[in-house]
Amino acid sequence: MPSDRIELTTPVGRAWEAVIRMVLGGIADRLDLGFDQLDDLQLAVERLLAEGDPHDPVTLSFELSPGGVRTRVGPLRDAALAEALQGPEPPPGELTLPRILSTVVDSYGVEEVADGHLVVRLEKLVRQQ
C-alpha cells in the first residue's frame, strides 16, 4: 500500500499552533493513533518548532503509512540544535531535546540542507490499542 503525503508550510508562532494541532489531529484520526501517541507526536513537533526562526516559515511534511508516520520539520537554522541532536547522550536526569525526542518518538535524525539549515526527521510507529 503506497503512503500518503501531507505538506504544510506555516509561519512559526503561537498564532499558528492551532492549525498545526488540527493537522496532527487529522493524521492521528487517519492512522487510528491513540491519545497518548498523538500527544507524543504533537510534543515532538511543537518542541522542534520552538527552535524555528519566527521570521522564517517552516515546512512540516508527513508521510503516512499503515505502520506509522514519518515527519520532517524544517528548515531550522541553529547549529546548536544539530549539535544537541547529534552529540553524546546527556547525563542522567537532564531534560534535553534529545531525551524528549527519544522518549516520544521511535526515531529521529538530522539532515543538513542548503545554507546551514537543518531538517529534523521523526518517526512514530503505530501501536495498536
| pLDDT single digits (tens) 1-28 | 567 999 999 988 888 899 999 999 999 9
Q: Which H or E element spans position 64?
A: strand 58-65
Query: Domain with 63 in it: what CATH number?
Result: 3.30.565.10
- The pLDDT, as a whole number, for residue 22 is 94
Domain holding 91, by residue range, is 4-125
Identity of residue 94: E
List the 118-125 sheet strands across, edge first. Answer: 4-10, 58-65, 68-76, 118-125, 107-112
Q: What is the CA radius of gyration of the chain?
A: 14
Nearest Cα neighbor of 71 from 50, 96, 46, 36 is 46
- Write the DSSP symbol of residue 3: P
Terminal-residue alpha carbon distance, the chain: 22
Local confidence band at 79 (pLDDT 50, 70, 90 cut-offs)? low
- The pLDDT, as a whole number, for residue 85 is 79
Domains contained in the chain, number: 1
What's the Cα-to-Cα distance from 80 to each of 43, 102, 118, rounded to whole Å? Answer: 20, 18, 11
Distance in angstroms (rounded) separating the CA atoms of residues 101 and 118: 16
Phi, psi of 84 (to 5 degrees): -65, -40
pLDDT for 32-75, tens place per residue?
888 899 999 999 999 888 877 778 889 999 999 988 999 999 88
